[in-house]
Amino acid sequence: MPDRLRVIVWGENVHEHKNAIVRQIYPEGMHNCIAAGLREDRKLEVQTATLQERQHGLTKSALAATDVLVWWGHAAHGRVADKVAERVLSRIWEGMGFIALHSSHYSKVFKRLMGTSCSLTWREAGERERLWVCQPAHPIARGIDRFIELEHTEMYGEPFAIPAPDETVFLSWFEGGEVFRSGCTWRRGNGRIFYFRPGHETYPIYFHPIVRQVLRNAVRWAAPEGKWIDRCPNVPIKKARETLTQKGPRLHKEGEAGFR
């Protein structure tokens, strides 16, 4: 792991401008609050980007210079350009880490990574949530005791339509009687993915010191371990490792790129 990690916190930045409650809680925007939490780790170089910027702030060069992308969206998933979503996916496959927060379960990028509908059940009652650590000693749970308690949260309940996670780091208990897989990891290509449930915009979740600890841990965990550029190369017959001669008919000329 490199000593310093370059992080972009991406925020949809919509409700902060439209909804008085959200604006009051996050006057600087949610992305800036999340970024401030990450900056408590002095070795993280944290920048922000928002939907409203050109290319949503996620140009090719910006992504190339990013180790981990943290994503928060809710009301405007559909306004994220397909082209940008696909560029983010390609960069994840190369090795960039990706952290999807709360309502980002329905973001274009997360749904594309999962290959499922990513639906769930939900209720906005400001109820108590307790996230239990299922894998003590997992790097993402470092410094967390047996659980995290949040007094006021939106509820997300099972069934959560995701593929079986590689690891289930947190499971949530809700006051109203539901449960949820609140902290899950997957790998897609060379990129590490972490979904973390807390984060509804009408509560000051991202000011919570333990939530911030989880986010810093997750960014460290998701750091690229290497880089792989995906090319789908044709292997010429003369470069086969075992002696080989052309047999039978063929569709492609030697060295052709093939269909994509």
Residue among 8 and 92 whose Cβ is closer to its own copies:
92
Segment contacting its own copies (CB under 8 A): 2-10, 51-59, 61-69, 240-248?
240-248
Residue among 8 and 22 whose Cβ is closer to its own copies:
22
Least Å distance, CB 34 to its own copies, is: 18
Segment contacting its own copies (CB under 8 A): 2-10, 39-47, 49-57, 243-251?
243-251
Residue among 53 and 93 whose Cβ is closer to its own copies:
93
Q: Which residues pair with 46 in a beta bridge?
A: 7
Q: Are 148 and 210 a contacting pair, CB within 8 Å?
A: yes
Q: Are 185 and 135 a contacting pair, CB within 8 Å?
A: no
Among 155, 218, 219, 223, binds its own copies (CB under 8 A): 155
d(Cα 170, Cα 96) in Å, to the nearest integer?
Answer: 23
Among 39, 147, 207, 210, binds its own copies (CB under 8 A): 147
**Residues 182-221 as x/- pattern, contact with its own copies by CB under 8 A:** ----xxxxx---------xxxx------------------
Q: Are 109 and 71 a contacting pair, CB within 8 Å?
A: yes
Q: Applying CB under 8 A, does 145 fall inside the site for its own copies? A: no
Site for its own copies in 112-131 (CB under 8 A): 112-117, 119-127, 130
Q: State the residue for tokens 């792989």.
A: 228
d(Cα 53, Cα 56) in Å, to the nearest integer?
Answer: 5
Burial class of residue 15 (count of CB atoms within 10 Å of its CB; 0-12, 13-18, 19+): buried
Least Å distance, CB 45 to its own copies, is: 21
Among 42, 61, 145, 250, binds its own copies (CB under 8 A): 250
Q: Applying CB under 8 A, does 225 fall inside the site for its own copies? A: yes
Q: Applying CB under 8 A, does 160 fall inside the site for its own copies? A: yes
Find, among 178, 193, 26, the residue nearest to 107 by Cα. Answer: 193
Four-residue CA torsion sign, 187, 189, 192, 193: negative
Find, among 102, 61, 116, 111, the residue nearest to 82 by Cα. Answer: 111
DSSP 165: P
Site for its own copies in 1-30 (CB under 8 A): 1, 15, 19, 21-22
